[in-house]
Structure 1
């Protein structure tokens, strides 16, 4: 059997994952990055130690809608919010578009058919948070072999699919918005959450994940409504209520 460097790297990453302590960091690694003239805010977390979660509604069905409400709810758990952004597309009533799992409870079905809008621009995908792992998986591959996700949010389009940009992206597209999304490194634990600081098209946004962050798979969350909560960057964006929100929590006494 020939030696496979990629397989070896994955085995080493798995070994590191099994040996790593499950201790949450106080703050994610949030920083400003660039690609040419374009600027991005990037927050990097690790699924093997950080408590990455999705939020939509409380136990009584009341929509969180924003970062302040989630941070307030976390106080009852003795925790605080250290990072968050909108985490998937939603209908007018703020219900998720496509698959949505929150702590193992499904709030929306997986959609594998094409359709209107960015969500239906196939291939789209699912951001999956498992037990000390994370992944971005194309939706039809997800349907064929569903992974064990504790949290999941389907969105679209995919930005990067197995190292390639989405085939429908145009280099010179004039569709430019503030956009946000997520990419997972080849190790299956390093998760990069990105929001553009200036208006970019899909091609530019996808290239940032592929060429700068080197994520083999990345998923678009949304544009126009994109918002970030990152205290270390002095960001706590506000606006109208959001649907799904992804973020990270730590114990309140952890500084």
Structure 2
């Protein structure tokens, strides 16, 4: 593997919209406000000249550095998890990873929004156990910017669907599932409420499924707008649907590069290597 490089990005002030009163859901509203990002730790990214078939690779889109990780049903399996709510490194991927065999892990990324207790907001299934119901209600913040959606799957079939479509068409509980919002791309078109390049800039991540059934996870390594992230999925990854996972807390663990982001998270999406038991 070619040499990895470390890129350090600037530190930005964390705005009050990320601090929620005790007991209230962390439902962020970022579409219409400028939201600078506090990077709690240096962001490691892969060298631009790395192998094209690497699971996670560095790309640049509209002058913003991104890390693009791809899960292949033939090579990987996907599950969900929860960051620990207590103990050392609680609320972090690092806390979840403690004691695990990293050779089994392709990568782990934050997988949706959470409340004051780090519990998922909206639909969440782990190992076929539904821990939280589908939320089709009204509310404020990104999660409730309709249509929102669900990333879910069983075995090697993974999908992103709008929450109402999921409710009306999926009758069997999947092995894993997580709800978030908004959808960034809907049937090949950008979400109608997302500006081309709005004033809100933040570290953000999302997921989409391409025509071959591969899952593409994208996390920005510098602040970007919703429109930029949505266009990357539509124009570069060409996923018919793509789902926003979260902003400002977006985190990645990629053992092959040594990257371990340490921001506060709740729901997790775990991508493991097949054939490693």
Query: What TM-score do you get using the length of structure 1 for normalisation?
Result: 0.80
Question: In 1, Cα distance between the equivalents of 2:97 and 2:225?
Answer: 32
Secondary structure of 2:256's match? helix
Question: In 2, Cα distance between the equivalents of 1:56 and 1:65?
Answer: 8
Question: Residue 68 of structure 2 is aligned with which of 42, 63, 81?
Answer: 42
1:87 alignment counterpart: 111
Change (3 A) 1:97 1:144: same
2:185 alignment counterpart: 160
Question: In 1, Cα distance between the equivalents of 2:223 and 2:86?
Answer: 32
Question: In 1, Cα distance between the equivalents of 2:139 and 2:237?
Answer: 29
Question: Residue 243 of structure 1 is aligned with which of 266, 269, 275?
Answer: 266
Question: In 2, Cα distance between the equivalents of 1:150 and 1:251?
Answer: 16
1:139 alignment counterpart: 163
Shift of 1:53: 1.2
Secondary structure of 1:119's match? helix
Deviates more, 1:96-105 or 1:146-155: 146-155
Question: In 1, Cα distance between the equivalents of 2:109 and 2:193?
Answer: 26
Secondary structure of 1:69's match? helix
1:9 alignment counterpart: none
Question: In 1, Cα distance between the equivalents of 2:188 and 2:274?
Answer: 36
2:91 alignment counterpart: 65
Deviates more, 1:152-161 or 1:196-205: 196-205
Secondary structure of 2:71's match? strand
For these two proteins, the number of residue pairs brought into alignment is: 222
Question: In 1, Cα distance between the equivalents of 2:73 and 2:123?
Answer: 20
2:7 alignment counterpart: none
Question: In 1, Cα distance between the equivalents of 2:177 and 2:54?
Answer: 20
Contact 2:112 2:267 in 1 (8 A): yes
Structure 1 or 2: more helix by fraction: 1
CA RMSD of aligned residues (A): 2.4
1:15 alignment counterpart: none
Question: In 1, Cα distance between the equivalents of 2:222 and 2:171?
Answer: 35
Cα deviation digits, residues 38-57 of structure 1 (max 9, x gap)? 22100101134312111016
Question: In 2, Cα distance between the equivalents of 1:73 and 1:127?
Answer: 27
Secondary structure of 1:140's match? helix
Secondary structure of 2:234's match? helix
Cα deviation digits, residues 71-115 of structure 1 (max 9, x gap)? 33544xx96333011101001111100000001000111011231
Question: Residue 229 of structure 2 is aligned with which of 205, 211, 217?
Answer: 205
Question: In 2, Cα distance between the equivalents of 1:164 and 1:57?
Answer: 33
Structure 1 unpaired stretches of 5+: 1-26
